[in-house]
Amino acid sequence: MSIQFKSIVELRAMLDKKSISTPELTQESLRLAKKYKELNCFVTMNEEMGPKKASAIELDKKTTSLISGIPLAQKDLFSTEGLRTTCSSKILENFIPPYTATAVEKLEDAGSITIGKTNMDEFAMGSSNETSYFGNVHNPWKKGYVPGGSSGGSAAAVAAGIVPAATGTDTGGSIRQPAAHCGITGLKPTYGRISRWGMIAFASSLDQAGPLARTAEDCAILLNEMAGHDLKDTTSLDVKVPDYRENIEKPINQLKIGIIKEFNLSELDSEVQSRFQDSKDLYEKLGAEFVEVSLPNISASVPTYYSIAPAECSSNLSRFDGVRFGHRAENTEDLNDLYIKSRSEGFGDEVKRRILIGTYALSAGYYDAYYKKAQQVRRLIKNDFDNVFETVDLLMTPTSPNTAFAFGSKGAQNPVELYLEDLFTISSNLAGLPAISIPHGQINSLPVGLQLIGNFLREDQLLNAAHVFQENSDFHLMQPTMENFL
């Protein structure tokens, strides 16, 4: 029986009915990964430890979690003990972490099997997966097209049906935008909901881990395991984790959804507008009420983000100096030369560009004008969200202004062109709010995503609204043919 394109819920039923064993399921998932090698969605396979763990789980009758025995893929930004973790960068090409990230450890403790580490934009800096040292990932829906980024490998692996779900991280849209471009569901939880310990840091006040899966229900199952306080991450919230599946079926006839006036949807591609209108109609049919709301400062999100994120990145990436881990240049004259050569050889162009911008924004004389100013505008953006959430439960936007695009077609001449990909997603990172992307149709055979943004710690409302949408539509069930990848 094929396991391709099955959800966690479906695979759980197969395991419980014993129509497949845990070791067979792991092998089948690894086989699919090999079969679709051309997608390039994996950087490293866990061929040794994965099957071993699967055999152990098969014998262990005590594990009762829903994800016990379920194969998962981890974004190659999560440290995994004994399993190479590269962040898709040359500088970490041979890095074997001495510990496992808390988010992954919790999934593994619940019995899931890591089958491999997924390709991504280098250090998660990108929206197309084209900055990876290990090459581009193809969109399973169209060869030669981007899967989105930065969690592009995770999104492609799920969309291709190799694994039912994967982990990702989202600093400015890196879970939601690839989920949208690949036609799957991706959740960025509230900042602090999931521990960041063991995640290789990009921008610490924006980074958040989350699940990518075929359905909102599967995202709820994974969030149940991943969420929670961690003593090793002081920014992880010490707030009770509810059962995110408990109220997922609840009728949504009391739901009030805001449409953000400032996003000017009428300027978007007419097909993107028309998918959005269809989804609005469906929600209305299901009893939700729509109101127009104003977030006066939201249009400043892109410049705010591109000041804060590079500043934090330049600080975080200063740890890569060729001394304690990572690539080290040869034939260096002195310590300073060792730092410069190791970093220059190890980082790709986009990472260097962001480090330089961040260094500039934080340097004497510019700090107030760029970095502090951006953090002030960030407060205004957060205040705007606080205000609108007094009157609405959720906000609804397209996830991305367009569908997936061809390799090399964006950002080569002007990097800002690619930065605008994140227009709808980055404000929730700045404010620390949860948001989800669900598939809601296709344009020219490429998936389109719908984004819902929730109030602080209201992942339950997001998952409820997304699940009810999926119960009443079949966009999340669509599958790419994969015939061009054989």
Partner 1 sequence: MDQETVRTICYLARLEIDHKKSEKIQKDLETIIELIGSLQSTDTTNVEPLYSPLEMTALKHEDVEKSDNKKEKFLENAAASNEDYFLVPRVVE
Residue 240 annotated in active site? no
- 321 binding partner 1? (CB under 8 A): yes
Q: Which of 79, 127, 128, 150 is catalytic?
A: 150
Q: Which of 174, 236, 279, 307 is catalytic?
A: 174
Contact (CB, 8 A) for 27 and 49 = no
Establish whether 373 is a catalytic residue.
no
- Rounded to 10°, the helix 216-226/102-109 angle is 100
Task: Map the footprint of partner 1 across residues 74-133, applying CB under 8 A.
Answer: 95-96, 98-99
Cis previous bond, 65, omega within 30: no
179 within 8 A of 452, measured Cβ to Cβ: no
Query: What backbone phi and psi angles, to 5 degrees, belong to 371?
Result: -70, -55
By CB under 8 A, is residue 445 in contact with partner 1? no
- Nearest approach in angstroms of CB 87 to partner 1 is 14
In the bound state with partner 1, the residue whose beta carbon lies nearer, of 88 and 297, is 297
Using CB under 8 A as the binding rule, whether residue 304 contacts partner 1 is answered as: yes
From the list 54-62, 163-171, 278-286, 335-343, the region that binds partner 1 by CB under 8 A is 335-343
* CA gap 196, 316 in Å, rounded: 14
CA-closest candidate to residue 129, choices 313, 401, 405: 405
Q: Tell me phi and psi for residue 256, to 5 degrees.
A: -115, 120
Spatial separation of the C-alpha atoms in residues 203 and 237, rounded to whole Å: 18
C-alpha distances out from residue 436 to 184, 215, 373, Å: 11, 11, 29
Nearer to partner 1, 11 or 260 (CB): 260
| Contact string (CB under 8 A) for partner 1, positions 17-56, x = contact | ----------------------------------------
Stretch of residues binding partner 1 (CB under 8 A), selected from 151-159, 169-177, 273-281, 357-365: 357-365
Nearer to partner 1 by Cβ, of 221 and 431: the residue is 431
* Residue 174: active-site member: yes
Please tell me whether residue 192 binds partner 1 under the rule CB under 8 A.
Answer: yes
Q: How many CA atoms within 13 Å lie on the side-chain side of 352? A: 12
User: Does 415 sit near partner 1 (CB under 8 A)?
Assistant: yes
Strands (E), 267-315: 289-293
314 contacts partner 1 (rule: CB under 8 A): yes
Residues 370-409 binding partner 1 (CB under 8 A) are 370, 372-380, 382
| Catalytic residue annotation | 75, 150, 174
